Amino acid sequence: MKRYLPVLILPLLGPCLPAQIVQDDFNDGNDAGWERYSPLASFGAPVAFSFPEGNRYRVQAPASPNPGAFGPTRGGSHRPNVVYEAFRVEADLIDWDNDIGQDIGLLGSLGSVGLATTNGYAFSYDTSGEGLFISSVTGEAADTLGSDTITLVPGRGYRLVFQGFFAPEDFYGQLVGEVFALDDLETPLAVVFGTDFTYPSGTCGVFTSTTSDSGTTDATFDNYFSSPDTDVDRDGMADQWEVDNLGDIFWYDDEDFDEDGQTNLEEFLGGSDPADPNSLSGSLAIGPLEVGVANGELTVRFSAQAGYSYDLESSSDLQGWSPAAGAALIRDNGAGTFVLPVVGQEQLYLRVVGSRE
């Protein structure tokens, strides 16, 4: 009988990405596949898109020629051919002009993109107000849904992550925005939540917008990523899995929905049915996992019980699992260590599977 050890969830690099996952590191020096948004171009104020060092994406918008008639300057890009009903979008904020007041950030559930027509949601950093905001955008007009105070330091890199999950039939939509320092992508520096279900689907992208009528914008992005896989309540369980198995996302990871002695998170990680008390994922006393990445290899060390054989499995979506290609197991004095090449891979989930011999 197979038993599943806790899943090790790692943002590894993988060559085979699901069709709805979009990734662009701009190393090709272009924005092919993007649709540029330059709403004031026809009025003599086109947004400039460039690629510093040949591998980054810079968005610079000149001052609006007539803020009263056209609004303040703004600009950005989105991926028009990839529509999500739930979205996770992220990008690294590499550089920006901190001397000008501007909003810089990510967009999700975009629709009707155009001058005075754009709808959707925005997660942004305001350089003048020194804060993070989640906003609902209707006809390009933004209404704040949530905010937090933070000051980002020029010269440092940050990762912005924005997620949205919607169930309009149940009258809820949950949004969360996070910012991480690039040298610590595990612990967010700040987290902002918002609630709205006006725009349950759309495209994703990046944007800049001045915070003054006569202002300009200037920000540089890198490592764009978007996916339909979300965890807006940050409980370690995929939102769609929670809805499919528990009815909604408002269950805690340490609760036991079917009262079978295993938490919801344990059943999610182990692949069992959290609504069936006769479906158990099983567990093994493995002790703490020790994980490391060095020289292009991932190592996972755990307690290996006698009488069990072990395999390392991988998944791109936490649904379908298969043996992790190239994984080698080393056993030594009650410890097991998997060694897995990770060079050139992206977005994989891993778990250790124990089988009684």
Predicted pLDDT at 229: 93
Q: Do the Cβ atoms of 216 and 67 come closer than 8 Å?
A: no
CA distance linking residue 2 with residue 92, whole number of Å: 40
pLDDT less than 70: residues of the chain: 1-19, 280-290, 305, 307, 317-319, 343-348, 354-357
What 3-state class would DSSP assign to 339?
A: strand
Q: Do the Cβ atoms of 9 and 321 come closer than 8 Å?
A: no
Predicted pLDDT at 141: 96
pTM over 0.85: no
CA distance linking residue 334 with residue 193, whole number of Å: 44
Element (H, E) at 268: helix 264-270
Instruction: Say if 2-6+284-356 and 22-227 have the same CATH topology.
Output: no
CB burial class (10 A; 0-12, 13-18, 19+) of residue 357? exposed
CA distance linking residue 49 with residue 31, whole number of Å: 9
Fold of 22-227: Jelly Rolls (2.60.120)
Top-level class of domain 2-6+284-356: mainly beta
Predicted pLDDT at 285: 41
Q: Taking CA 206 as the corner, what is the angle to CA 203 and CA 212, rounded to the nearest 5 degrees?
A: 125
Q: How many CB atoms lie within 10 A of CB 155?
A: 7
CA distance linking residue 37 with residue 113, whole number of Å: 8
The domain locations on the chain are 2-6+284-356, 22-227
Q: Do the Cβ atoms of 300 and 294 come closer than 8 Å?
A: no
Predicted pLDDT at 343: 64
Per-residue pLDDT tens over the stretch 116-147? 999 999 999 999 877 999 999 999 999 999 99
